[in-house]
Amino acid sequence: MKLILSRKGFDSSAGGFPSPIFPDGQLLSLPIPDRQGPTSYADIHTDWGPMADILAQLSGKTHWHETAAHIDPDLRRNSLARRRGWQATLGQTGTAQSHLRNQNVAEGDIFIFFGLFKPVEKTAQGWRFVQATMARHVIWGWLQIGKIHPVDQLNPSDLPWCRYHPHMHLGEDANNTLYQAARALTLNNVATPLPGAGVCQGYRPELSLTAPDATTPSQWELPAHFFPHRGKPALSYHRKPERWHKCGNRLKLQAAARGQEFVLDTDFYPEAQNWLSALLLPESAPKSQAQ
């Protein structure tokens, strides 16, 4: 099984600011703006009201109500009105899709989504970022691949529940691909009680990729078993040895500033599946795995 650390959501270049961590710890990944998609931020429902209202409060700008959103990956069933048969999906194209294909990403592999997040607080004027805190790269969701659909090969009647998806509106593009979630999440060849795609229920320190002592979000801390071994493929985009530094049973990694999809083959790093279990099923993991 391949694990794909997949960068998704707002950041300083796409959207202009981080996604929020609410006072109760809930994470809300903000989908990046879209030029041609059919869904606007005003259409997207959240537990805190329309997403456009949240964006207007955080940014001080009102244009979000008329701005299209690239709602991808689309993991939350209650975000939009759904057609019967809806499944969670991720779309990819361009260089990122070519990289996934070259890494032989296939059904059964799992995307672990991370993005830039920062705590927010409620004021009389609405939500605002807590200024004394640093933005961090945080894991917020997952999607295990159930089916892979080259979009250009779909018939007009295929996937009627997915016609709203932004990757259905890109025009002719041989690289355009949809990843449909599996029905249930399977780890270590064992079915879990979790669905094949979902969002993490509340911030926990172990969901932070950014190291506790980091000065920038891209200074990561990972379990020691991620360390590249001779003869085993390292996490893609991170093959240079100088990116990695051992610190006891942990690793410091200078994460790549570019690239959306970082692929690790867990056939060579089997402990990574235990790490996933600790992240997504924390109640079933030994404490040593969740630290």
Residue ranges of the chain with per-residue pLDDT less than 70:
283-291
pLDDT on residue 248? 83
pLDDT in tens, 233-268: 999 999 999 999 998 888 999 999 988 999 999 999
pTM beyond 0.85, yes or no: yes
pLDDT on residue 290? 31
Of 224, 278, 255, which Cα lies nearest the Cα of 116?
A: 255
The C-alpha atoms of residue 243 and residue 183 are separated, in whole angstroms, by 36
Which residues are CB-contacts of 35 (< 8 A; sequence separation ≥ 6)?
68
pLDDT in tens, 146-195: 999 999 999 999 999 999 999 999 989 999 999 999 999 999 999 999 99
Phi-psi region of 206 (alpha: psi -120 to 50; beta: other; left: phi over 0): alpha
